[in-house]
Structure 1
């Protein structure tokens, strides 16, 4: 979500019960030791989540990994229950191409610690992706650790606050960022070899892309940025165009596709109930 000023009253309490306070070092140290001992076993994700829970409270840890060709795979989504259809199935079926975390995973110089509200485009909350997918997950704040895996895959392990929970405070974000090196090292060690298994036996289909035979490459760039939640001014800055030129492109796109709204644009490329690839 776009960054916003955060008053002191919105800061969430940490496990110690004091806003912004770090957990006792012995507790954190013991929890990390249990995560290290669980490396390579099915118990590692839960042990890693328990350690991070000692550092900063959250309601969900989950993750995905992305292949160099643009496909997305399940990294860790074991305890989502009824939300799995939206958080995992719909995401892997295609909405991932609009996810700011997916964009961050494809940058060679991507940061090791990612904060959604600092990364998201300026009109993210007005986008159809946010309205139809992200808001449906009930995630109110999200951060991610970027994992460099085998075979050119990149994983994003996320911590989320959900529902009525408050956003992560600046102090909590600072603690998580300070722990990013450790989280990455353990996560990369544990999930080593997963990309090879994914390539051999995963159900993921062809990479999802924003494509249409009636549109030029420039028009497809504009479509992609619109769908991701960029305003006219932001699109102009990203593509080094004037805002008026962006508006001309948008009118031409809508005319070619015979549509009149962003909702129709979303449905043209990404359709419900399970998001599918756009026209080839």
Structure 2
């Protein structure tokens, strides 16, 4: 198990500074067999979290719901923003035994279908806190924390390096000022952490294609395209296709 996880690190390290970096973070973590699902979040005190990437596009509606309102009830959000610590923290470490009777569980958490949750908190980077949130097949997570701590510390170092590189880039306004329009759009989408697939779909939307046409061009279902749209709108801070056109056209 550990060997496979460590073997994924060279690919992750090679992606530092590139658009697909956080996809490789997810790929590396999912190599660990016990981990069933993983999301990368960016947190900041007094601000809504950002779902950078999830390994489950179908769950994007829940990710949107969490980032729009449910996070306000999440004990992890309060713990991460107030403590600003790093390392492993599991849900059972910070909630009471009656968690399943809490408002957060009743109104949101049960929809995830997660029997447990652990966050590996990367720490404060560029005034935000990156956290890797995942669930496992086993309720006992201690063996994963102990055995794979060096692996997760390597992922942490890669994320710090990636974010440091991004921070050292020329300000976005100066980068796009002299670019052709298509390149400007691509640069702006990169800035908002859209995945390569989300960028492709955004370009197709801006070209005037419907969700039905885009689904055939991308060889996925129309429902998947609609879920991508929701994720794109959330990351860009907009609510409609009209706002998307207003921003880029």
TM class, shorter-length: 0.5 to 0.7
Equivalent residue for 1:180, pick from 152, 156, 164:
152
1:65 is aligned to 2:42: yes
Alignment CA distance shift 1:190-1:56 (3 Å): farther
Alignment CA distance shift 1:39-1:175 (3 Å): same
State the 1:91 CA deviation: 0.4
Alignment CA distance shift 1:189-1:121 (3 Å): farther
Larger of the two Rg values belongs to structure? 1
Q: 2:237 — aligned with what? A: 203
CA–CA separation in structure 2 for the residues paired with 1:103 and 1:55: 28
Equivalent residue for 1:49, pick from 26, 43, 62:
26
SS in 2 for 1:106: helix
1:103-118 equivalent positions in 2, closer than 5 A: 103-118=78-93
Indicate conservation of the 8 Å contact 2:85/2:123, yes or no: no
SS in 1 for 2:47: coil
Q: 1:39 — aligned with what? A: 16
Indicate conservation of the 8 Å contact 2:91/2:117, yes or no: yes
Indicate conservation of the 8 Å contact 2:6/2:151, yes or no: no
Alignment CA distance shift 1:141-1:102 (3 Å): same
Indicate conservation of the 8 Å contact 1:73/1:202, yes or no: no
CA–CA separation in structure 2 for the residues paired with 1:90 and 1:183: 27
State the 1:102 CA deviation: 0.8
Indicate conservation of the 8 Å contact 2:86/2:122, yes or no: no
1:155 is aligned to 2:130: yes
Equivalent residue for 1:80, pick from 28, 51, 56:
56
SS in 2 for 1:140: coil
Q: 1:29 — aligned with what? A: 6
1:171 is aligned to 2:143: yes
TM normalised by structure 2 equals 0.59
Gaps of 5+ in 1: 1-14, 16-22, 206-280
TM normalised by structure 1 equals 0.54
Greater helix share, structure number: 2
State the 1:46 CA deviation: 3.5
Alignment CA distance shift 1:166-1:115 (3 Å): same
Indicate conservation of the 8 Å contact 1:64/1:74, yes or no: yes
CA–CA separation in structure 1 for the residues paired with 2:87 and 2:156: 8
Q: 1:7 — aligned with what? A: none
CA–CA separation in structure 2 for the residues paired with 1:132 and 1:100: 14
CA–CA separation in structure 2 for the residues paired with 1:62 and 1:128: 22
